Structure 1
Amino acid sequence: MNSAISCAAKASMPPIKTVRVIIKGRVQGVFFRDWTVQNARELGLNGWVRNRRDGSVEALFSGEPAAVDDMVDKRCRLGPPASMVTALNAFPSDDDPGHGFQRKPTV
């Protein structure tokens, strides 16, 4: 493939946004991870979610910027019905999200 075609192919690819999120509050034992998997898949995001031993939930969301923003700013700030989010910190990430969205073991 020549470089002109390579550059054109990259230019036509939609932008991808990847963020790592730490969510605190009543977020464990309330189906937050399963809810996150369902919502992320609905939005077509790649990444993962897992519980942390400190009681928080950590997630990596990657995909179309508007979908990532929706997941972080709207959905995760509210969480599933039984949860109570008290803090949410999101920061850019270069981590590989893999393909699809999955639940990972606690760390």
Structure 2
Amino acid sequence: MDANAVAEGAGGADEAVRMTAWVRGRVQGVGFRWYTRAAALRIGGLEGFALNLGDGRVQVLAEGPRERCERLLEWLRTGDTPGRVDGVTEIWGPPRGGYEGFSIR
């Protein structure tokens, strides 16, 4: 990869990122993880997972182009999700890899 390709990708919509979100509300036992996986597959280009946590939240980890991760985050906040979303907290970082597709855990 040449320096121009690196410069163009830095901070842009195609920059690969890791987005980890914690979704709180009535999001367990309502098919939320399944719908999240379907949304990630519909958006495309994302790898990661959706996982029920012991405290009632769902953790969503997605790696891929920033713009696509942002679309998934927006869907988590305002989309037609099952149950009830009371809030979403997220952190961003560099991708670490190691995922194949988008799974339910």
Q: Taking structure 2 as the reference length, what is the TM-score of the superposition?
A: 0.79
Q: CA deviation at 1:43?
A: 1.3
In the other structure, the counterpart of 1:53 is: 54
Of residues 8-17 and 89-98 in structure 1, the stretch that sits farther from structure 2 once superposed is 8-17
The letter of the residue matching 2:48 is: G
| Number of positions where the alignment pairs a residue of Structure 1 with one of Structure 2 | 98
- In the alignment, the residues of structure 1 paired with residue 67 and residue 20 of structure 2 have an alpha-carbon distance, to the nearest angstrom, of 15
1:16-95 equivalences under 5 Å are 16-44=16-44, 45-73=46-74, 75-94=75-94, 95=96
Q: Which structure would you say has the larger Rg?
A: 1
Q: Taking structure 1 as the reference length, what is the TM-score of the superposition?
A: 0.78
In the other structure, the counterpart of 2:99 is: 98
Unaligned runs of 5+ in 2: none
Whether contact under 8 Å (2:27, 2:85) holds in the other structure is yes
Unaligned runs of 5+ in 1: 1-5
User: What is the RMSD computed on CA atoms of the aligned residues?
Assistant: 2.2
**What is the percent sequence identity of the aligned residues?**
26
